[in-house]
Amino acid sequence: MQFDTWLLFAGAAIALAMAPGPNNLLAIFNGARYGVSSAAVGGIGRVVAFVLMIGVTAAGLGVVLAASETAFLIIKWGGAVYLVWLGIKSWFAKVNEDTGDLGQTALMVNPGPFKLAKTEFLTAIGNPKAILIFTAFFPQFLDPAEAYGQQFLIMGVTFIAMEVSVLLGYGLLGGQVKGLIKSARHMRILNRISGSLLVGAGVLLALTDRSRTAA
């Protein structure tokens, strides 16, 4: 892959990674609730999901999935229902009223690294827009005169690196919000904002059709 082609791809990849979406919302709110390190750990789930999707695309199965109306609808509705469920769960999340000397960190119980990562993984894997982006985006930068596998590997590693940088950035943003949360009331407000946005994201995903997604 030529350096100028890679540079163009990297710029487009980071723009895609920075776009507001359910996973980036999770990174912000995980950072705000539990801290930057928890947002980073949760992001591992997203990275695993994207690595799987890139692998599927590289193997050629992504084209099959992108062309299948049934597969698209199953993934779309599964992802939409999951986002709405996450939003409702966030809205009604338990907040500790009396933290004593434990301070702000005890307002919400950290669910642990596995659950944080699992939530990000399921959120990413349940979004059919991701697989369509990979099948439509990556091939535009392939040079038919060069080895296909090597180019796909370079683009895959680059995209994942950009995604990691962005999720850390959103986690840091959430960490700044964390410093403003001083009471149970503040945490409940955060949870309801998070819940509303996730439900909204689920509704938008449910309303998305393939033609609009591909654009």
Question: How many domains does the chain divide into?
Answer: 1
pLDDT of residue 98: 56
pLDDT of residue 63: 65
pLDDT of residue 90: 79
**C-alpha span between 76 and 73 (Å, rounded):** 5
pLDDT of residue 207: 80
**Domain housing 75:** 3-214
What are the average pLDDT values for consecutive 10-residue runs of the chain, which has 215 residues? 86 87 90 90 94 84 68 78 83 68 59 92 85 79 81 90 93 85 76 83 76 44
User: Which whole-number Å values give the CA distances from 22 to 27, 147, 194, 202, 214, in the listed order?
Assistant: 9, 35, 10, 8, 18
Residue 104: CA count within 13 A, CB half-sphere: 16
pLDDT of residue 64: 66
C-alpha dihedral over 167, 168, 173, 178, to 10 degrees?
A: 110
pTM: 0.80
The 3-state secondary structure of the chain reads: CCHHHHHHHHHHHHHHHHCCCHHHHHHHHHHHHHCHHHHHHHHHHHHHHHHHHHHHHHCCHHHHHHHCHHHHHHHHHHHHHHHHHHHHHHHCCCCCCCCHHHHHHHCCCCCCHHHHHHHHHHHHHCCHHHHHHHHHHHHHHCCCCCCHHHHHHHHHHHHHHHHHHHHHHHHHHHHHHHCCCCCHHHHHHHHHHHHHHHHHHHHHHHHCCHHHHHC
